[in-house]
Structure 1
Amino acid sequence: MTTDKIKVSTLIAIVASAMLTFMGIVSETALNVAFPILMKEFNVTSATIQWLTTGYLLVVAILVPISPMLVKRYPTKRLFQAAVVIFTVGTIICGFATSFPMLLVGRLIQAIGTGISLPLMFNLILALIPMHKRGVIMGIAGLVTSFAPAIGPTYGGLVVTSIGWQSIFLILLPLLVIALVAGSLTIQSISTIEKQKIDFLSIGLSIVAFSGIIYGFSLAGETGWFHLGVMGSLGIGAIGLALFSIRQLKIDVPLINLAVFKFPMFTLGLLQVFLLMMIVLGNSFLLPTFSESVFGVNATVAGFMLLPGAAISAMLAPIAGKILDSSGPRVVISFGAFLLAVATGLCVLFTSQLTTILMGSLYLLLMIGVAFVFVPSQTNALNQLPQKYNSDGTAIINTLQQVSGAIGTSLVAGLLTASQQKITDSANHLSKEQLMIEGGHNAFLLMFVIAVIGFILSFGLKKNK
């Protein structure tokens, strides 16, 4: 078993599916750089322009939970081809958008393609790769997808300033053609097709639950936690999630089989991924905002400042996966979690003394820690599940990543906003820059606490079955 060779066609199939995820992340992170330009061009507010991201996340969060049903009902190759075609249509609409509604429609169509394709990569790996080699293959796939947020802001900044924001999308079209051809030639069906009955009630409850939760947390970062819209959205989402869970436990063929939570190491790994994504996406929002406000650099420079850390993290992902395969999860994940705690702890201690070089260095340390936690945690969690639960486990992990990212971003945004609002307080004697440093300190402290919790939990991990 340990001498099993992985076919080249299998690797190409996995990379092809990863490319679509890569392009979804690149288009999202690159477009963020263009927001100020888009606001002026389309004459919309920052709250309105944010729907290009919020709407995208909502659609992905809605589609990922139904992915187990799609995988069981339709051939894998057809799902992949549909995802690429849908994403391509959305990309073309975005590239030729002449109004904000047109651009938003294109982004939502892109999100449909991403929502379908996102779980496919993991399902392919779990179905085709032996357990003792999954770590390194997940690392290779992680290299493709992890590099996207590394180059997204830099790519966006260069394209926007040189040839226009539309090219953010148009440049992706040749890559989409390559992914479509490569995937069509190599991807095979990975499960027996089952024409199971579609439970529309479960789908409806899933939409209510995850759209309510994602939107509520996204809105909280702008308006504060006690805004009526935030509390209403989160309340509706929580009720929807409770009803969805009850429904899954009662029906014979659930949309997502919650039996995966009977496996303690899966649940622990899921929690590790959840905490990690809060840190990663929270910092992805915090560091550029902090840099632009305190250091006075523009978005492109901020992107270049963070590029080395993200790039090295992506390159370390296969190495972390190989260590997981050979030594088990505890050593590699606890080491990575320790680096996360050190990096965030140093940011807390030296917030007021941070410089572009020091912040870039600490972000590099942080992202090295991310490399040794993300892929091993995800892989070890999925390794605990019987094959019949693969699509369910993948759907849950990917859905929780969307939720945790929204939570991390909203918490950081809320802390920054709370400090910035003191500028109108008559008792305040701090400048706007000093208030940003205060908000950044509080946000770094939150990230440090989350990192310490993850480090403690890592000692409960056990070797793969």
Structure 2
Amino acid sequence: MQAVTTEAQHSAVQKYKVIPIMVSLLLSGFIGMFNETALNVALSDLINLFHITAATAQWLTTGYLLTLGILVPVSGLFLQWFSTRQLFTASLLLSLLGTAVATVAPGFELLMLARVIQAAGVALILPLMFHTVLVIVPPEKRGMTYGLIGLVLVVAPAVGPTLSGLLIEQLSYNWIFGLSLPVLAFSLLFGMRYMQNISIITKPKIDIYSLILSTLGFGGIVFALSSAGEGEGGLGSPKVVIPLIVGILALVIFAVRQLRMKQPVMDLKAFKQPMFTVGTVMLMIAVMVMMAAMLMLPMYLIRGLGLNAFSTGLVLLPGGIVNAVMQPIMGRLFDKFGPRWVVPAGMALVSVVLWFLSGITTTTTIPQIIALHTFLMIGISMVWMPSQANGLNQLPPSLYPHGSAIMNTVQQVAGAIGTAVAVSIMSVGMSSFLKQTADQTDPANVTLALTAGIQNVFEIAIVVAIVGFVFSLFMKRVHIPEQK
């Protein structure tokens, strides 16, 4: 039966307008990733503008990712209940609404609401994009296709800090979102013209208990880690411990329930495929490291070295561009050689760069930061797409929607955890440093405390990267029989 299904899907590839479909999805995904990271370089300005703490400001990023982490797990269900065109249209309309609200938002509360609406739109488009590739692109070309996806999605966060910095310096943060509106409108019109329905609608039963457990699980964990950077008590605060315990318990019950259900919301049987499991772990580690670095480096450059937002964007631009260029190259290497050597080498490079970043001080030069950020992005590109493509390739077609949902859930939740833990570690490190100083209000001491906190973040990231390197050694290429 599986062979028949696969053959039918392969023959259907010839009927799809692959290029227009992918252009529609990539334009939408581009804006989604731009919105996800565009405020990173603006956080320092928003802290002063809204008179909020760093831990509160980072919710503009973590809240966005948390919304994705709550909604993306049920995306496999959406793919089986609604047509491709319906999901695409709903995604773009939500993105347009959220971006419009962010464009006119005068304060933190309304901007936070806008970020949640934006994230709801992206929560539909990202799983749809990766599921579409599995259906309309032959296995032997998926690595290159995922590489192109990576190029487009990485360009957004690459140019985001520079463009955001320029807009903040010359206009206001609202313009970061205002420029996205016409692109989203064009994406909607283009997609409505060319998007085809590629999903098979089966309308499985919706299990409310699973949805509640998923929300409590992912939401509780990210909320706990985000709260660790606020107020007194740090990681031992009841505000951290209680939701963390609730989140972990909810996820355990959720997992057990999914394994026992005939029609699970998220089919965890995908983890029976060893390369899918390894690929998921590698993806999680890569995203956590990248999101933590993309949040810490702008803070270090602006509040530690005294650069303005635009200059900070320029410093981070080369690494982002190199990462984007490397994505299709890594896709080709994956298609030709598999992940066996590419991923471990990338993880080793990431570990070495993080070791150097853990030693940054206020005397570290800008060229050194540019070089370290660039090599970090090269390492990430060697890990991300090859791990994801290899893992998804091992799944049977019946698990495509669930595999895409799992990978995208891991990606978004890992991003939320990465940013939340980074801010928490930085805040604890700053507090610990200042307690040892005579004058805690001295700007020089505050700068040194910030640098010490950021060093602590990269020290923990080294441990995470080493764990990733060990996992990468177990990665093997998935051989898929040629489809005729």
- Measured against aligned partners, the alpha-carbon deviations of 1:275-300 in whole angstroms (never above 9, x if no partner) come to 11121111112212222233221232
> For residues 319-344 of structure 1, what are the alpha-carbon distances to aligned partners after superposition, in whole Å with 9 as ceiling and x for unaligned?
10111001111122122122212222
Query: How many residue pairs end up in the alignment?
Result: 464
Give the AA of the match of 1:441.
Q
Q: What TM-score, normalized to structure 1?
A: 0.93
The aligned residue for residue 75 of structure 2 is 67
Q: Partner letter of residue 133 of structure 2? A: I
Aligned to 1:299, which of 290, 309, 317? Answer: 309
Q: 2:226 touches 2:421 (CA, 8 Å); kept in 1?
A: no
Q: Give yes or no for the alignment of 1:309 onto 2:323.
A: no
Amino acid at match of 1:237: G
Change (3 A) 1:6 1:337: farther
User: Counterpart in 2 of 1:448?
Assistant: 462
| Paired letter, 1:206 | S
Give the one of 428, 435, 438 matched to 2:449.
Answer: 435
Seq. identity, %: 37
Q: Which runs of 5+ in 2 are unaligned?
A: 1-6, 480-484
- Aligned equivalents of 2:302, 2:317: Cα separation in 1: 15
Cα distance change, pair 419–450 in 1 and its aligned pair in 2 (3 A): same
Cα distance in 2 for residues equivalent to 1:455 and 1:231? 30
Alpha-carbon shift at residue 248 of structure 1 (Å): 0.7
Any idea what the Cα deviations from partners look like across 1:109-129, whole Å, max 9, x if unmatched?
111111111111100111111
Change (3 A) 1:163 1:433: closer
Of 89-98 and 434-443, deviating more is 434-443
Partners of 1:111 and 1:350 lie apart in 2 by 33
Q: 8 Å contact 2:85–2:197 — kept in the other structure?
A: yes
- Taking the aligned partners of 1:45 and 1:104, their CA distance within structure 2 comes to 15
Structure 1 residue 107, shift from structure 2 partner: 2.0
Equivalent residues of 1:420, 1:436 under 8 A apart = yes
Post-superposition CA distance 1:259-281 (Å, at most 9, x none): 00101111011111111112111
Q: How does 1:8-407 map to 2 (within 5 A)?
A: 9-35=17-43, 38=46, 46=54, 48-223=56-231, 224-348=234-358, 354-407=364-417
Give the drift of 1:36.
Answer: 5.2
Provide closer, same or farther for how the CA distance between residues 46 and 352 of structure 1 changes in structure 2, counting only shifts above 3 A.
closer
Rounded Cα–Cα distance in structure 2 between residues aligned with 1:187 and 1:102: 33
Do the aligned partners of residues 51 and 434 (structure 1) sit closer, same or farther apart at CA in structure 2, a change above 3 Å counting? Answer: closer
Stretch deviating more after TM superposition (197-206 or 38-47): 38-47
Q: Which amino acid counterpart does residue 144 of structure 1 have in structure 2?
A: V
Query: Counterparts of 2:360 and 2:216 in 1: how far apart (Å)?
Result: 42
Whole-angstrom distance in 1 between the partners of 2:64 and 2:360:
35
Partner of 1:412: 422
- Give 1:35 shift: 4.2
Q: CA deviation at 1:250?
A: 1.7
Deviation by residue 1:337-362 (Cα, 9 ceiling, x = unmatched): 22212222333456576211101101
CA drift at 1:443: 2.4
Change (3 A) 1:62 1:362: same
Paired amino acid for 1:116: L
Distance 2:189 2:111 in 1: 27
Point out where structure 1 has 5 or more consecutive residues left out of the alignment. Answer: none
